[in-house]
Structure 1
Amino acid sequence: MPYLMNRLRNMFTSSRDYVSDMLGGADPQYRVHVITGDRRGAGTDSNVYIVLHDIHGQKSDPIACNKVFHNDNERGSTTTVDVKENCGLQGPIVKVDVWRDNFADITFVATITNFLFGQRSKRGSAAWFLDRIEVEEVLTENRKTKESLTNGVNNCQPKDSGVEAPETVHKSSSGDRVWVFPLQRWVAAHKKYCIHMHDCFLPQHDPNFTARREDIMLKREDYKYEQKVEGGPAQIENLPSDEKFSEEYYWTFATEKMNLLTQTKFIEWTTSKWNTLEDLKKVYKQGLGEPECMEVWKEDWWFGLQRLQGVNPNVISLCKEIPENFDVTEDTVKGLLDMSLAEALEKNKIFICDLKIMDNLECKDDRELASPLALFYLNKEDRLLPIAIQLKQKSGHDNPVYTPNDAPNTWLVAKMFYNNAEAQHHQALTHLGYTHLLMEGVVICTNRNLSPSHPLFKLMAPHFLFLLAINTRGLEKLVSVGGWVDNCMTQGVKGIFELMRRGFECWRFDREGQIEKELEARGVLDENVLPYYPYRDDGVPLYNAIKKYVTTVVSHHYDTPEKLSGDWELRWWREELVKPRNQSGVGLQNIPGNSEDGFTDVSQVIDVVTVIIATCSLGHAAANFQQYEQYGFVPNYPGILISNVPKEKKLYTEKDIMTILPDKRMTLDIMVITKLLSSKGTNSLGDFEMQYLYDPVGVQAAEEFQKDLKRLSLDMKRRNIDRQWKFEWLDPEIVPNSISV
């Protein structure tokens, strides 16, 4: 009953204020905008109250943020309330208190509202996610004159106040100042939340220190590690409700999948068995689109380009000497080089792809998988051409070396088996392992140890959007027994998790994590060695733009050694990043710093945060978005081949090649999933779905980042004009903020 009386009192108070405004009451001094978050269950029917605090230490009476006969504080909505000139406040607002009651929506007021306006009752008042409160200064003509006469008193620091005048970077559409108070948390009933402007503090400087620590402890209950596969990555135990897809994103994704399935069902019903490659090509004209490689997939120059700008561009290395287990001699490659093999090695003209990590990988149903070595020659036209392929690691009479001198279809089949092996490496490591699942542990760790008020949390959070959700759904639907990987990839679920285990043992922060160091480790950073390498040429500038952005924000907040050493949340974060996965950690190796002091220099923090953001954006984009272009036409980059690895050089007819390709249903499944995975999920890099940083330095850094990305996008478009083959996957317009597909 008290709740109902309060609600009625607010209703009549709002009506009285409305009548007062109509009759010429006091002008508003401030306009308060209460922005509810856009996530599932974010809205509330509770009574919401705020108190404003100005720079002079004065505060307003409680202000009700509910309007009569109006469904306020709905998900993704803004509720606006005017604060009158006689409210007792003078000058900039520096702090806001906000709270709500637990008024249920099944009340007399809600019933009347629904009856009168046909509004649907919300889900109740069990929760409310407050994104932020914005307080807008309203300067009427009278107030502007008053401000001028007092010489801008509201912009000055009051004498002996002990409070600095806030630096305002936000303006309303009319040019008036706006002070932003982000909370970005769930608001419990009858709990008062005190929000300082911008809410961006290191823990040792946070005025809400106690509440901050309590929030972290609560989040640790929602974000728990689970190692679901022995030796596998750190994953989320149960998906927190905060991490679920938005309804719009979920239905967009589901609708696209349904459309693709419908198209392939029609193809399945209306096409006969594919007896030739030309029969297979006709299928692509009926709906899903023709991958551009269809007309060139047999060409050697195309096979070379796949190593430089395909989905798996981080395998190829400079070769200084032929490995002992690779049975290649001068005679093997005779006629394929315009110099001797020894001279080519000396002149840095030979490159190698060595997939020894695949050796003896146990796959589903004992399927046999190659673990190949492939040798490439950089010719006088700077084209990378394959010159030798050995499909198993151990040389011998049953493991021949294939070359372009062999019969055309024999050489073609060797390239197909190489690509089949590399496809397993791509999906298990480059794509799923080193982006999706590696970053899943980082997301969990960040939520467990960094407060939403921490500047590093705010810096990284836009790049974590939907990552846990897509991983949970992807593993359930695609990487499960009987799922897509099990049926449409040679390795199956059994092999993919074993390959990930091997890969995680090899991954090092100071090598694989940083793009220039990783390229340098493979000997391909220098463009004089490998002139044409789109992945490098687009990836390095994009990585450096991200690092510049991170450096600006991180250096500002850690501008003294004491701030770095005094940040206990940062120490907690690093500790869990390096803790072994079987001990509830992320298990990242070679993270800078040490176990006693944590990070010892701000440059170390910059490097780690840059790697995380780059992995969630450019790293995933390079591995993901051209999947349909590579996998869609199955012979080009076969995820599965229905045959054992060849042990001799035999002659193949086109009919023989068709028999080792997957059947119609499997091919259509590959087309659907790779088409779906190639769709873009979140906004382009830098165009953040949700703003976290509101402080002046953060806002300016984001604006500069966006300018840098636009310049890079233009540079990449110009480079594409003269490239051997279009490569647009690291264009900032294509690269999303996060891993969401």
Structure 2
Amino acid sequence: MGSGISKASYNITVKTGDQKGSGTDANVYIILHGKGLQTKECTLDNFFKNDFERGEIDKFSIDSEVNISEVQRIELRRDNCGLYSNWYLDWIEVTNKKNSITFVFPAMKWIKANGRYFFNHDTCLPQDDLFLETRKLELRAIQAEYQLQVQIPGLPAQVKKLPEDEKFSFHYKVNFALEGIKLKAESFKLMMTNQNKWEDVEDVKTVYTKAFGVPESSEYFNDDAQFGRQRLSSLNSLLIELCTTIPQNFGVTEDMIKPFLEGKTMKQVMDGKKLFIINLSILEDCPTKREDLVMTCPLILFYFNDSKHLMPIAIQLFQQKGPRNPVFLPSDPKYTWMLAKMWYSLADSTYHQSLTHLNYTHLMMEGISVATKRNLALQHPILKLLDPHFLYLMAINSLALVALINPDGIIDKNSNAGIKGHFHIMRKSMSFWKLDLHGTLPEDLKNRGVFDQSVLTGAYHMRDDALLLYDAIKTYVEKYVLLYYSTDSSLTADYELQSWGAELVKSRDDGGVGILGVPGNGNFKTTNQLVLTLTAIIYTCSAGHAAANFQQYDEYGAPFNYPYYLSGVPPKDKSPVTIATILKTIPNRDVLLQMMIVTKVLSEKATKSLGDFEKQFIVDPKAVKVVEEFRQTLRQVGKTIESRNKKREYPYDWLLPKAIPNAISI
């Protein structure tokens, strides 16, 4: 399209964000730029109208001596006039009235007084940018605002100070607060009308009022098949491993478990890939909140029976075998076996909260998001691809630091491990967690011997549905990456991308993110290395976090099935246990209600579904087509999962694409 000089008119559409205080009374000025052309500065103003109010869309018309048929960038500034001058801009659209072509300029940022802001319509690599000097200046300003810092010693790098552009929208914040207030009021009422100790098993159910709802897991009591399903289709479904040999420190023998193998030998069940193990040795030496609280570090064996149910068949609660650390079996006294399962679940929930949920999604991804903003300019295709998946991540983590994961905060008060124990486990994991293994679903499954569909057939719902999503994301990323990197040389010439990769792997001691297992060690030489990295990030921020998060109320709300806090001591022998002991062991009414409030709020989905992006930075027509293909694939994935659920004995809805947000925003 050529550009010529003749009178022209442009329609300008402006969307102001809904952040608190995002509307402005200031004067706003715009300049349009094309190939070698620019308009004079024009004021955006409608007479007798209060423009730029929070959450509103305003339309303006401007005339110019210059006809720019292809508007490539806009230049924007505002003054400091008016009582309320802060302004958060979502996006601007410019339409040349002569050719009716519309150009979209995503912004998603606060526009400060007297600064000059440039927004490009084009998506381009730095080596191809016609406005390179401006691009470099903008990136330097962003780097000053987005700084990496290890906030908690030994843990992942986070943002040093929450930038204004990362704060919650007003709408999101209000919904979040109202939900918490409603549940706190309900919980206070329950505490005032009931005593703290439990009378019997039925008494526990009295906390499930209308405001909270009944947690799914509470419908089961001392049910071995349900206990097995928790390992395959619940919050912590990436621990189970194929068992090919019994560890030396696990005191289980063939004679002990033979009654539970449906007439088969141990060799037969191992050869048939029907024996599974979870070893939570990482919890050994885990500190607890108080001296009278205990943390287990168990080993557990499962048998996948002929009815396709995963059944627990042996539990050892501590790593060193011995007479005071017996192997508990389903044939033990009823409540002794139940107590052993509860003490196993305490370790499982502690691992889930500290690693699966907090460390491997929230904190690991925050460091990556900060490095992305610091190194990739707004025009960069990879920034546009990743940014929707970082929505509110820094904001929710900074909120968690003051409300959840702080001394005397909710986690500290209502878990056996407390903050000290959680941080201890998280620090341990930093030495071995790798993006290309633990952060890459197929590799993680292969590493545990459970990738093949012939293993745990028809029962491992989380794996089966998650692989559909992983493949959909990988295909989307591949198509998108190849639009901009047609050759490997364009990849190596992209110095912004290479500096991003370098910062991802740079040691946290030296100011980097310190991620292990980044393909090519962050020096991307092939598109395949880049695709694997981006797929791991997008999958973790969307499906990975959803699987670890949204079932929290359904599990943690059921203290017999998924306790996070237990009193007393684990059983040291096989003496019969009474139900009275079980009731004294589970959290009391106050602790359970605290856990129910936080997990209920954390289980609410408050943002848009995967593929339906809140922050729509992708405006390049070729890339928009790739996004639409991704959405079509996700719709197909949704239909496949719905059809699977009709045939499943126990449906699994947690990875339906419509149930998965784009980002870790809660």
Match of 2:124 among 198, 201, 204: 201
- Equivalents in 2 of 1:101, 1:231: separation in Å? 43
1:9 paired residue number:
none
Partner AA of 2:122 in structure 1: D
Partner AA of 2:71 in structure 1: V
* Contact 1:564 1:600 survives alignment (8 Å): yes
TM-score normalised over the length of structure 2 = 0.95
Match of 1:428 among 328, 347, 354: 354
Match of 2:94 among 115, 135, 157: 135
Verify: 1:104 aligned to 2:81, yes or no: yes
Name the CA shift for 1:259/1:187 in 2 (closer, same or farther; >3 Å).
closer
2:15 paired residue number:
35
* Contact 2:553 2:600 survives alignment (8 Å): yes
2:163 paired residue number:
240
The offset of 1:719, in angstroms, is 1.0
* Contact 1:297 1:303 survives alignment (8 Å): no
1:608 paired residue number:
533
Name the CA shift for 1:91/1:417 in 2 (closer, same or farther; >3 Å).
same
2:363 paired residue number:
437
Verify: 1:275 aligned to 2:199, yes or no: yes
- Structure 1 stretch displaced more, 313-322 or 26-35: 26-35
The offset of 1:74, in angstroms, is 3.3
**SS of 1:136's equivalent?**
strand
Measured against aligned partners, the alpha-carbon deviations of 1:443-495 in whole angstroms (never above 9, x if no partner) come to: 11111111122111111111111111111111211111111111111110000
Match of 1:94 among 65, 71, 90: 71
The offset of 1:358, in angstroms, is 0.7
Match of 1:389 among 298, 315, 322: 315
TM-score normalised over the length of structure 1 = 0.85
1:719 paired residue number:
644
* Number of aligned residues: 657
1:707 paired residue number:
632
Gaps of 5+ in 2: 1-5
Verify: 1:457 aligned to 2:437, yes or no: no
Partner AA of 1:239 in structure 2: L
* Contact 1:267 1:286 survives alignment (8 Å): no
Match of 2:223 among 296, 299, 308: 299
The offset of 1:283, in angstroms, is 2.6
Measured against aligned partners, the alpha-carbon deviations of 1:302-328 in whole angstroms (never above 9, x if no partner) come to: 111011001100000000111111111
1:665 paired residue number:
590
The offset of 1:268, in angstroms, is 1.4
- Equivalents in 2 of 1:740, 1:256: separation in Å? 15
The offset of 1:542, in angstroms, is 0.3
Within a 5 Å distance, the mapping from 1:579-598 to structure 2 comes to 579-594=506-521, 598=523
- Equivalents in 1 of 2:367, 2:431: separation in Å? 15
Name the CA shift for 1:101/1:672 in 2 (closer, same or farther; >3 Å).
closer
Measured against aligned partners, the alpha-carbon deviations of 1:283-342 in whole angstroms (never above 9, x if no partner) come to: 324541112222323111111101100110000000011111111112111311120112
**SS of 1:637's equivalent?**
coil
The offset of 1:137, in angstroms, is 4.0
- Equivalents in 2 of 1:298, 1:244: separation in Å? 44
**SS of 2:282's equivalent?**
helix
Specify which structure has the bigger relative contact order, considering alpha-carbon pairs within 8 angstroms and separated by 6 or more residues. 2
Match of 2:233 among 309, 324, 327: 309
**SS of 2:47's equivalent?**
coil
* Contact 1:490 1:640 survives alignment (8 Å): yes
**SS of 2:93's equivalent?**
strand
- Equivalents in 1 of 2:259, 2:123: separation in Å? 65
* Contact 1:54 1:90 survives alignment (8 Å): no
Match of 1:284 among 191, 205, 208: 208
User: Which structure has the larger Rg over C-alpha atoms?
Assistant: 1
Match of 1:547 among 469, 474, 486: 474
The offset of 1:406, in angstroms, is 0.5
Gaps of 5+ in 1: 1-25, 106-120, 140-153, 155-175
Name the CA shift for 1:695/1:651 in 2 (closer, same or farther; >3 Å).
same
* Contact 2:605 2:661 survives alignment (8 Å): yes
* Contact 2:9 2:62 survives alignment (8 Å): yes
Verify: 1:46 aligned to 2:43, yes or no: no
- Equivalents in 1 of 2:415, 2:115: separation in Å? 52
1:168 paired residue number:
none
Partner AA of 1:135 in structure 2: V
2:260 paired residue number:
336
Verify: 1:681 aligned to 2:660, yes or no: no
Measured against aligned partners, the alpha-carbon deviations of 1:409-451 in whole angstroms (never above 9, x if no partner) come to: 1111010000011000000000001000111111111111111
- Equivalents in 1 of 2:385, 2:175: separation in Å? 27
The offset of 1:58, in angstroms, is 5.2
* Contact 1:33 1:79 survives alignment (8 Å): yes
- Equivalents in 2 of 1:310, 1:347: separation in Å? 25
Name the CA shift for 1:386/1:213 in 2 (closer, same or farther; >3 Å).
same
* Contact 1:459 1:693 survives alignment (8 Å): yes
Partner AA of 1:433 in structure 2: N
Verify: 1:623 aligned to 2:600, yes or no: no
- Equivalents in 2 of 1:95, 1:703: separation in Å? 23
**SS of 1:376's equivalent?**
strand
Measured against aligned partners, the alpha-carbon deviations of 1:34-87 in whole angstroms (never above 9, x if no partner) come to: 3334444444333333334556x5554433211223222334333322245xx4
* Contact 1:54 1:89 survives alignment (8 Å): no
Within a 5 Å distance, the mapping from 1:205-224 to structure 2 comes to 205-224=128-147
2:557 paired residue number:
632
**SS of 2:658's equivalent?**
coil
Verify: 1:68 aligned to 2:47, yes or no: yes
Verify: 1:556 aligned to 2:483, yes or no: yes
Match of 2:298 among 346, 362, 372: 372
Verify: 1:78 aligned to 2:57, yes or no: yes
Partner AA of 2:92 in structure 1: I
Partner AA of 1:33 in structure 2: T
> RMSD of the TM alignment (CA)?
2.0
1:114 paired residue number:
none
Partner AA of 2:430 in structure 1: F
**SS of 2:81's equivalent?**
coil
Name the CA shift for 1:242/1:202 in 2 (closer, same or farther; >3 Å).
same
**SS of 2:659's equivalent?**
coil
* Contact 1:183 1:199 survives alignment (8 Å): no
